[in-house]
């Protein structure tokens, strides 16, 4: 009989990822529009006594001093960490900490992140097209046949791409209608109630809409309690899969009570183009000199350790806020210079005919930034063009908006007694370099609440 004791000397190593609060703050500031940013700055000025406005003649911090406070030694990559060194893109460039910040991704970013590693080269263009075709509900409201014809893509490839898209989260995305969206959300049903709910949605949707319990009982030979439980399952589903991705629009709607806030101004002067980020920037704020001097004075006093800790907390918080504000402005300016270089025709005139195809993914790649950074920098924000017109950033990334606006301009110039047909509008668009089918014109016209030629004639 063995009565000895056994000792386990195994070593367990856990790796935890902690996001630096400075990274989170940088992402939050970048995501705000100009009105929201001013409100956040005013709140920070009230809460942090070490942060104050930079008055004329007051001592101003130099950039090197800000870096010494915001980026201490522990943020530098050690030479002994081979994995980190190997994964760095360019050692000469400063790390953009915004790439690691938590963000509220758009629906497009959320879906592309799920599909990017799974899709092959053949399917990826079709997936990008389907994602761009989703409406604000997360539905695909255009028939696949129409998309295939308009964009000259093989129909079978689109079908395979749609199958992959509909397997993504949020469940129900990529559906063509409410019935398909509910069915997609219930397709992995495990309980009896959920399975019955899936059968009702797919086989007896009309009876479901009318809540015809008796008809459903006869059709499925089920007891009333099971039908009612299935109804309860269906009521818990989400009619619009993309409703959780409207955060930027909700932010904007709360802030735009009088006029649309301008977040980026692109202007053409006698000496060339200029890019301006309106509102408060990092040069308007400074760390309180008395707070910083006092912190340095008590740094070596052991009896004043608590006071030093208090002062250091607020001083570092102020430095972090100023640096995050500087990064926000720098990122928006880079985006502005890119738009001037690649969309100069539209920026100068506001004519959508000059718009070129552009995605957030391409913009991020060309600027060597993370896609989430571009998403935060552009979501819910507006640009003032050189002609004074203020447009949403979405205009640069949504080709459908360009076509809809061009259709609106064509209809605005038609003769009252001779309304243009959809076929004629399609031909006029082709003359402007936009090749779309008549069905596409009809779809965009309906989406913009524009009457048909027959109804415009009678009106």
321-355 pLDDT, tens digit per residue, is: 999 999 999 999 999 999 999 998 889 888 877 88
> Would you say residue 129 lies in a domain?
no
Pair (215, 326) in one structural domain: no
Pair (314, 429) in one structural domain: no
Pair (276, 235) in one structural domain: no
Residue spans of alpha helices (H) in 205-288: 205-209, 213-220, 224-235, 247-255
Cα dist from 155 to 123, 176, 211, 330, 373, whole Å: 11, 16, 37, 43, 34
Rounded (to 5) percent helix, strand, coil in the chain: 60, 5, 35
Q: Pick the last residue of a domain from 367, 396, 425.
A: 396
- Top pLDDT among 287 and 54 is at 287
Measured in degrees and rounded to the nearest 5, phi and psi for residue 437 equal: -80, 165
pLDDT at residue 56, rounded to an integer: 44
Pair (388, 275) in one structural domain: yes
Count of residues making up the chain? 459
Quick one: average pLDDT of 291-313?
84
Helix (H), strand (E) at residue 391: strand 390-392
pLDDT at residue 457, rounded to an integer: 55
> Would you say residue 288 lies in a domain?
yes
Distance CA 146, CA 126 (A): 13
Distance CA 196, CA 48 (A): 57
Residue 426: CATH number of its domain: 1.10.10.60
pLDDT at residue 66, rounded to an integer: 43
Average pLDDT over all residues of the chain: 77
Quick one: average pLDDT of 249-257?
38
At 2, the pLDDT band (50, 70, 90 cuts) reads low
Cα torsion angle, 400, 420, 391, 353, sign: positive
β-sheet bridge partners, residue 51:
287
Pair (214, 265) in one structural domain: no
Quick one: average pLDDT of 40-48?
90
pLDDT at residue 119, rounded to an integer: 65
Share of the chain above pLDDT 70, in %: 75
> Would you say residue 329 lies in a domain?
yes
Pair (200, 312) in one structural domain: no
Q: Pick the last residue of a domain from 190, 205, 240.
A: 240
Share of the chain above pLDDT 90, in %: 10
Looking at the structure of the chain, the number of domains it has is 3
- Top pLDDT among 303 and 174 is at 174
Which domain covers residue 220, as residue numbers? 178-240
pLDDT at residue 98, rounded to an integer: 53
pLDDT at residue 333, rounded to an integer: 94
Whether residue 290 has pLDDT greater than 80: yes
> Would you say residue 352 lies in a domain?
yes
> Would you say residue 344 lies in a domain?
yes
Pair (370, 358) in one structural domain: yes
**pLDDT single digits (tens) 155-169:** 888 888 888 888 888
Cα dist from 443 to 153, 178, 419, 425, whole Å: 19, 19, 17, 12
Pair (230, 331) in one structural domain: no
Whether residue 226 has pLDDT greater than 90: no
Pair (206, 304) in one structural domain: no
Q: Pick the last residue of a domain from 396, 418, 450.
A: 396
pLDDT at residue 134, rounded to an integer: 83
Chain mean position to CA 91: 29
> Would you say residue 112 lies in a domain?
no
Residue spans of alpha helices (H) in 107-246: 107-115, 124-133, 144-151, 155-166, 178-186, 192-203, 205-209, 213-220, 224-235
Whether residue 104 has pLDDT greater than 70: no
- Top pLDDT among 108 and 193 is at 193
Quote the tokens at residue 409: 């301009």
Token pair 């395979």 in the structure block, residue: 160
Pair (272, 341) in one structural domain: yes
Quick one: average pLDDT of 31-38?
87
pLDDT at residue 143, rounded to an integer: 80
Pair (319, 276) in one structural domain: yes
pLDDT at residue 322, rounded to an integer: 92
Pair (295, 357) in one structural domain: yes
Q: Which of 444, 349, 430 is nearest to 398 (CA)?
A: 444
Quick one: average pLDDT of 373-388?
89
> Would you say residue 250 lies in a domain?
no
- Top pLDDT among 88 and 416 is at 416
Whether residue 52 has pLDDT greater than 60: yes
At 440, the pLDDT band (50, 70, 90 cuts) reads confident
pLDDT at residue 7, rounded to an integer: 57
Quick one: average pLDDT of 427-442?
78
**pLDDT single digits (tens) 64-102:** 444 444 444 443 444 444 444 444 444 444 555 555 555
Tally the C-alpha atoms within 13 A of residue 378's C-alpha that lie toward its C-beta. 27
pLDDT at residue 456, rounded to an integer: 55
Quick one: average pLDDT of 228-239?
84
> Would you say residue 385 lies in a domain?
yes
Quick one: average pLDDT of 5-34?
68
- Top pLDDT among 63 and 285 is at 285
Quick one: average pLDDT of 196-204?
88
Whether residue 281 has pLDDT greater than 50: yes
CB atoms within 10 A of CB 392: 17
């Amino acid at each position: 009989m063995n009565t000895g004791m056994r000792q386990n000397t195994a070593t367990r190593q856990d790796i935890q990822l902690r996001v630096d609060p400075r990274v989170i703050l940088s992402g939050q500031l970048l995501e705000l529009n100009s009105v929201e940013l001013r409100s956040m700055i005013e709140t920070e000025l009230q809460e942090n006594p070490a942060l104050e406005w930079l008055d004329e003649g007051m001592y101003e911090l130099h950039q090197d001093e800000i870096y010494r406070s915001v980026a201490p030694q522990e943020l530098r990559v050690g030479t002994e960490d081979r994995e980190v060194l190997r994964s760095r893109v360019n050692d000469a460039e400063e790390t953009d900490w915004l790439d690691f910040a938590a963000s509220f991704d758009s629906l497009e970013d959320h879906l592309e992140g799920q599909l990017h590693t799974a899709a092959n080269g053949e399917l990826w263009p079709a997936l990008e097209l389907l994602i761009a075709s989703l409406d604000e509900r997360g539905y695909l409201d255009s028939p696949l046949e129409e998309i295939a014809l308009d964009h000259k893509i093989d129909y079978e490839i689109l079908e395979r791409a749609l199958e992959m898209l509909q397997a993504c989260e949020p469940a129900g995305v990529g559906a063509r209608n409410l019935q398909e969206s509910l069915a997609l959300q219930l397709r992995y049903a495990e309980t009896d109630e959920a399975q019955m709910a899936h059968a009702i949605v797919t086989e007896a949707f009309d009876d479901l809409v009318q809540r015809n319990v008796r008809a459903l009982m006869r059709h499925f030979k089920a007891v009333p309690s099971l039908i009612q439980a299935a109804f309860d399952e269906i009521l818990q589903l989400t009619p619009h899969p993309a409703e959780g991705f409207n955060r930027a629009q909700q932010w904007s709607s709360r802030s735009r009570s009088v006029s649309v806030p301008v977040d980026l101004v692109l202007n053409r002067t006698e000496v060339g183009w200029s890019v301006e980020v309106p509102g408060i920037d990092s040069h308007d704020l400074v760390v309180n000199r008395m707070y910083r001097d006092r912190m340095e004075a008590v740094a070596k006093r052991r009896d004043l350790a608590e006071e030093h800790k208090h002062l250091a907390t607020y001083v570092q918080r102020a430095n972090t806020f100023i640096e995050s504000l500087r990064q926000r402005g720098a990122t928006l300016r880079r985006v502005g210079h890119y738009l001037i270089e690649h969309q100069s025709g539209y920026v100068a005139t506001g004519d959508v005919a000059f718009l070129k195809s552009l995605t957030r993914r391409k913009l991020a790649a060309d600027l060597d930034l993370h896609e989430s950074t571009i998403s935060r920098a552009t979501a819910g924000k507006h640009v003032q063009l050189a002609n004074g017109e203020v447009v949403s950033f979405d205009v640069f990334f949504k080709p459908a908006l360009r076509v809809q606006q061009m259709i609106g301009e064509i209809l605005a110039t038609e003769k009252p007694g001779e309304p243009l047909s959809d076929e004629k509008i399609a031909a006029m668009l082709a003359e402007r370099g936009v090749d779309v089918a008549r069905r596409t014109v009809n779809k965009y016209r309906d989406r913009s609440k524009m009457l048909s030629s027959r109804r415009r004639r009678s009106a």
